[in-house]
A and B are shown apart, each in its own frame.
Chain A
Amino acid sequence: MRESDNGVRHGAVRAGTGSTLSRDIVAFTRRNSRSYNRARTSFGEVFADIYTSVLAFGCLAAIAVSFVLAMRDEVAGQDPTQGGLLPGNSFQLPSSVLWALLTYAALTGILTVSRRLGPIAVTGAQGTWWLPLPLDRTPMVRPTFLRRMIWVGVGSVLGYFAFSLVTALNLSATGHALAAGTFGAASVGVLGIAAMLQLSVRNPRSLRALSALVLVPLALLPGFAPDPWAFALALLAAVGMVVVVFRRAGQVRGSELIRGGAVSGHAGASVFFLDTNELMRSLAGEPRPMAANRAAALYAMPARSPHLGLVKADVAAFLRLQPPLTVPALWLVACLALMLADVGLSVPVQLAFVVIAGCVVASGMGTVARRTALLPELDAMLPLSPAQVRASRMLMPAVALGLWMTVLSGAVVLLGRGGLPLILVGALAGVGMGAGTVRGASRPAADWTVPPVDTPFGPVPRTQLSALLRGLDVTIAAMLPLLLALYIGQATTLILLMQAVVTGVVILVVLYSRPTAAGQR
């Protein structure tokens, strides 16, 4: 490419009109960016990047494969009617129903996340320099959407193949492949549904409800494997959606394209830095207008002390900013469904699922704590000690998680396990998890420049692990007595006492822990 003195590469963009010119502009940007980057990248850097990527992917693949095979052996070796957290329970959920529910939940997750990320989106630079041009925007947005479809499709196929290996023991390799292909096609179709939602200007509730309904048949299709018609049907739905969306991709409003790109960039950076707090912030979305005036009467009441004033503010902020209860409710149902299903998962696996559910729900309750953690100076301006501030911030997550755990443990008690004290143990565990939420919200960014520490088991990245697990440590510790009660099937007085002590200790730890290296609480 010829370059003049003033840096203009002649002939880089051909003259044209409408879509042709738009395609040329996109190609021009890509080509020149690529040539700039290539001119400044050495062979050694490329080799190192490829080498580390392949190595990391290989390690991840090996871990994933061994985990899936171990899980498959675990399920294959269990008697579906024996064991589990609720042994001998008269009501059992057929495993096929559980797998369909999980598939539906996965598709709902893809729909929700892809809608947050766009799925049709442009980066900030593209929004500033491409969108104001009086050209057809379709060629500007199609490539990114296509890449996303490929990633979602491939990821879904791989993920469901592993899922199918564990849950459908009687299927052949072809059957697993067909099931995975069906789910992959369904996922691409869901991405198309998300794009259609993006095309509608107002995105009304009825349209979202219709989308949730459309996911039902899509979630059932993989269960029909190895019948090829299910795969054909899913593929047809995916192709249909893709064709419709590809035709109309350029009609998505510019503000929506920029919003999707901003969320995608924020979420991508969070994943790159393994910062779950930032990831939650990026995907949180706008506060719901209907929640904007919640607790207005409480907030308007005069406060008798600064601490009570802060408590009122934290309560109001929690009620206004907290996302809908759908996610905690879904995790609750998933925990109970897994306990009731005739799958034959062992007690440790079921307990592990309860721990994961608890950590995810606890993390979701930290919206206010995460937002305020961004500006610790604001809290420092109050005539209150850091412990008083943390106590105020902990209140609502502790109440909400206490309620969540009460419902979970209450359901277990209703199903004939644990005895009434289990409900109290659950409630206390939830309060402790609330403390973990506040601790996790002020998690510092992991410092990857600190070298790992040599141990008898090899080098361990202690500093990074300590940063990444901050908050989760307390949440899991708060759940341990409850897990013990679920394991032995009875909440004894000793366990109740143990739970009270553990909850008290984790609250004190969170209240009086020293500031982190990042300067955050």
Chain B
Amino acid sequence: MTEMGALLEADQLLVGYGGAPVCGAVSVSVQAGEILGVVGVNGAGKSTVVQTIAGRQPALGGEARISGIAVDRDAVHFRRQVAAVFDDDLFFPSLSVAEHLLLVARGHSLEYPEESVRAELDFFGLTDRAAAVPDALSSGQRRRLLLAAGFIRPASLLILDEPEQRLDPVMRDSLAERITAHAAAGGAAVLVTHDPSLLVRTATSCLLIKDEVELVTADQGAAYIAGI
């Protein structure tokens, strides 16, 4: 079942490894302005679901579409539409924090890349570390750099896999505002999280990943995470 104007549609999407599904089939639709939370216990398959939606691994069955076009990480259209932030701790060892962001800003043809970089450095509290190489950063700062790279570029769909990891509470609050602002500006987001507070503050609906995947409200998802 597809809906007109949906940024993300998944229809009986089956994900897993070596031909074996890790959870039930996912069917969901995310419109512009919506934020879909994804929750579940460890090993339930949350990251596998978003990795498949992000085109990082093939689906076992069903299909996922971004703006009506099948997921293909190699298509320029897909790369332009989707920004995905996973826990990839991979950086150019000799490029500074600012240069990493400038690379992304220029690669997406931003009109004022230097200014955008400065703004992101400021938002993510990295201005003082702008000239540092990634090896000189703490793990939390490297996480901030990855998030900054995800937010600096234009994207209709933002995919975030546990973005709260290694962030302090203040940064988590700022992140929640930023995600909400992205949706308010006409984008959509898929947010995998173990943080009930972040989920309730941002998500408009929530996928509960288990043997039978359920679409629930953000409050129900938060209660599930909290074990209530």
Contacts and interface: CB of A to CB of B under 8 A. Distances in A.
Interface in A211-243: none
A132 interface: yes
B118 A32 contact: no
Nearest to A124: B90
B187 to A, nearest CB: 16
B90 A128 contact: yes
Interface string A33-56: 110110000000000000000000
Contact of B109 (A17, A253, A292): A17
A129 B98 CA distance: 13
Nearest to A24: B106
Interface in A134-148: 134-135
Interface residues of A, number: 37
Interface stretch (B28-36, B127-135, B162-170): B127-135
B76 A8 contact: no
A450 interface: no
Contact of A125 (B57, B73, B93, B121): B93
Contacts, number: 105
B99 A32 contact: yes
B91 interface: yes
A3 B98 CA distance: 11
Interface in B129-151: 130-133, 149
Given A6-B130, A13-B106, A134-B80, A33 B94 contact: yes
Interface in B114-130: 114, 117-118, 121, 127, 130
B73 A8 contact: no
Interface string A1-42: 001111111101101010001001100110011101100000
Given A24-B106, A134-B108, A6 B80 contact: no
B74 interface: yes
A132 B84 CA distance: 9
A10 B102 CA distance: 10
A253 B74 contact: yes
B137 to A, nearest CB: 12
Contacts of A132: 79, 83-84
A127 interface: yes
A6 B79 contact: no
A462 to B, nearest CB: 35
Nearest to A286: B18
A7 B99 contact: yes
A15 B57 CA distance: 32
B107 interface: yes
Interface string A147-169: 00000000000000000000000
B114 A28 contact: no
A164 B118 CA distance: 61
Contact of B98 (A6, A130, A133): A6
Contacts of B118: 6, 8
A254 interface: yes
B192 interface: no
Contacts of A129: 90-92, 100, 103-104, 149
Interface string B53-83: 0001100000000000000011011011001
Nearest to B82: A132
B76 A134 contact: yes
A7 B96 contact: yes
B103 to A, nearest CB: 6
Residue from the set B80, B92, B117, B130 with the largest chain A CB neighbour count within 10 Å: B92
Nearest to A132: B79
Nearest to B134: A125
Contact of A7 (B18, B84, B94, B98): B98
A254 B73 CA distance: 7
B95 A29 contact: yes
B91 A125 contact: yes
Contacts of A253: 74
A21 B106 contact: yes
A251 to B, nearest CB: 8
B212 interface: no
A29 B95 CA distance: 7
B106 A28 contact: yes
A255 interface: yes
B127 A6 contact: yes
Residue from the set B73, B95, B130 with the largest chain A CB neighbour count within 10 Å: B95
Contacts of B91: 125, 128-129
Nearest to B115: A8
A9 to B, nearest CB: 7
A368 B61 CA distance: 32
Nearest to B79: A134
Residue from the set A15, A28, A133 with the largest chain B CB neighbour count within 10 Å: A133
Nearest to A6: B130
A10 B98 CA distance: 11
A133 B97 contact: no
A25 B109 CA distance: 11
B18 A25 contact: no
B133 A36 contact: yes
Contacts of A21: 106-107, 109
B156 to A, nearest CB: 13
A8 B117 contact: yes
Interface of B: 18-19, 56-57, 73-74, 76-77, 79-80, 83-84, 88, 90-100, 102-104, 106-109, 113-114, 117-118, 121, 127, 130-133, 149
14 contacts: A5-B130, A8-B98, A28-B103, A32-B95, A124-B88, A125-B90, A125-B91, A128-B88, A129-B90, A134-B80, A134-B108, A135-B76, A289-B19, A292-B18
Given A7-B99, A13-B102, 9 more contacts: A7-B130, A8-B99, A8-B117, A17-B109, A125-B92, A129-B92, A130-B107, A134-B108, A292-B18
